[in-house]
Amino acid sequence: MGYQNEFLTTSQLAKLLDISRVAVYKKIKKGQIKAIRPGRNYLISKDDLTGVLDDNLTFAQKESVAQAVKKTVEDYGETLRLLGQS
């Protein structure tokens, strides 16, 4: 099966998100996680996980990301601005 590099199983996603498989199934049923069902099991495309993973960041993690972005802009703002013009 060539799905290993492109898709995650519900068990793999549950472990990644640190939630139960039942919680993953509920999110799939609610449309919060996009999944395909080629047989009896669901597969989740890694390309569709951006929003799913973003929703699971804690406030502290989001704050840490915001501070890292702020520092990067302070340190490399001019370079980033010039790169954005190309």
Q: Rounded distance, CA 71 to CA 13, Å?
A: 32
- How do residues 30-73 score in pLDDT, each as one tens digit? 998 999 998 888 998 888 877 666 666 676 766 777 787 788 87
Taking a C-beta distance cutoff of 8 angstroms, is the pair 35, 28 a contact? Answer: yes
CA distances (Å), origin 43, targets 14, 15, 76, 78? 12, 14, 40, 43
Same domain, 50 and 70: no
Domain total in the chain: 2
Range of the domain at 24: 1-55
pTM: predicted TM-score of the whole model, two decimal places = 0.56
φ/ψ (deg, to 5) at 44: -115, 125
Residue with tokens 């951006």, as numbered in its chain: 50
CATH number at residue 1: 1.10.10.10
